[in-house]
A and B are shown apart, each in its own frame.
Chain A
Amino acid sequence: MKYSNAWHLRDIILLTLIAIFFGVIYWIVGPVYNILTVALTPVGLGPAANDILMGIWVMAGPLAGYLFKKIGSATLGEFLGAVVEMFLGGQWGASTMISGVVQGVASELGFAFTGYKRYDWFSLNLSVLTTTIVTFGWDMIRNGYAQYHIGLLIALFIIRLVSTWIFAGVLAKAIVNLLDRTHLMQSRTR
């Protein structure tokens, strides 16, 4: 199947709105990250909170890629979400923009590997996998994960993979299924 790659004004607005919505939902639904981090820090497992919740942060990317079926939609969706988060006053400051690009490109890779031809359960899962691997690589540098003992490192990777799969895979698919039943997206992205 062939998908149009042209971006029109309403696609751009829609993508930005969805990115902001995801940022705001995370913002409103609660300071889960802080509570979890505070609880885990005394045993030295604070960073695990980051991996447990990773799926929520990176969800917009695979979902946008899957919804819009255009080159660059995953990257753009994720990056815009990050910019919004930074302007809202996120905890990571200027590095949020870099994380946004890293996460966006990471989820884009999954769709790029299929040549932007497949948009199904397989390509979504591929996107989940690339997202996990690339963002984990970035955390090895930025957050010093590379220094941890190998056992913890493997545990963190598995936690992140499961979290990303649940949110960016299973939940994203459930959202798309609901949308498919409305037939609203098909009439827009021919």
Chain B
Amino acid sequence: MNPSLKFLLAVLIALEISFTNTWMVNVGLALIGLIIILSSRPNLKRLALLFFVPLIPAFALAFAILLQSNAGIHFALVLFTRIYAYVFVGSAATLTTSVSDLVMSLEQNAHIPSKFAYGFLGAFNLLPKIVSEVNIIRAAGNMRGQALHIWSPQLYFKAILASLDWSENLAEAMTSHGFSEGAPRTYFKQIRIRWWDWLIMLGSLGLLQVALFGLHLQ
């Protein structure tokens, strides 16, 4: 499916189930998400994390409703299943799309200015470097006997300084490779929206309405 439409669909589904209270629909969405996730053949560790990590907020919200409100078990169940629907629908989109495909689709199909598309892409590709930089900053602090915590301004200050440095370098590198803001571009990899992309999106949304209304009327 077209990446832009896939993410739009995931967001629309998440938005709609935030306002509705039908736990069976949440379970159904989570199951569909799970099937899509399994079809992308994730590794076992990732799959296990997907099941266990949402348990914490899901239980927290459900318990809070049971103990701190009069809303009852049905609403607790709705909140519990809602978290799983969010996570599985979201992962169904992220695990089957690469960041670069999404960015290219956003540029070609959603017509985001190319400076934003390639700017984001360049920065996203620095992710591993960013992770190691944060570790370096903390290690450097430790060596001087200065523990940097999440509330230490120095930690963020040094991170922003690194960002300033890298953004300058990356922007210059892109410019020297011939990238110019606002210039018309041709695409090596063309991403199109086909009729079945629209069909899947509108069909899924239609089915969701039918399911929500059907179960609501029962």
Contact surface of A with B, Cβ cutoff 8 Å: 7-14, 16-18, 20-22, 24-26, 28-30, 32, 34, 37-38, 40-47, 49-50, 56, 63, 67, 80, 84, 86-87, 89, 91-98, 141-144, 147-149, 152, 166-167, 171, 174-175, 177-179, 182, 184-185, 188
Contact = CB atoms under 8 A, between A and B. Distances in A.
Given A17-B123, A20-B124, A44-B64, A92 B87 contact: yes
Contact of A9 (B99, B160, B179): B179
19 contacts: A9-B175, A13-B122, A20-B126, A22-B159, A24-B127, A24-B130, A25-B150, A26-B150, A28-B135, A45-B64, A46-B60, A67-B160, A87-B94, A94-B87, A95-B90, A175-B157, A178-B153, A178-B157, A184-B161
B198 interface: no
Which 3 interchain pairs have the tightest Cβ spacing?
A: A46-B60, A44-B67, A93-B90
Given A25-B156, A93-B89, A148-B68, A17 B83 contact: no
Contact of B86 (A38, A46, A94): A94
Interface of B: 7, 10-11, 13-15, 18-19, 46, 49-50, 53-54, 56-57, 59-61, 63-71, 75, 78-79, 82-83, 86-91, 93-94, 99, 115-116, 118-120, 122-124, 126-127, 130-131, 133-135, 138, 149-151, 153-157, 159-164, 166-168, 170-171, 174-175, 179, 181
Given A91-B53, A93-B91, A98-B14, A152 B68 contact: yes
Contacts of B87: 91-94
A181 to B, nearest CB: 10
A43 B161 contact: no
B81 to A, nearest CB: 12
Contacts of B160: 18, 21, 67, 175, 179
A42 B61 CA distance: 11
A184 B164 contact: yes
A176 B168 CA distance: 19
B145 to A, nearest CB: 19
A164 to B, nearest CB: 13
Contacts of B78: 144
Contacts of A45: 64, 68
A86 B102 CA distance: 13
B152 to A, nearest CB: 9
Given A16-B123, A92-B87, A94-B11, A43 B67 contact: yes
B134 A21 contact: yes
A25 B154 contact: no
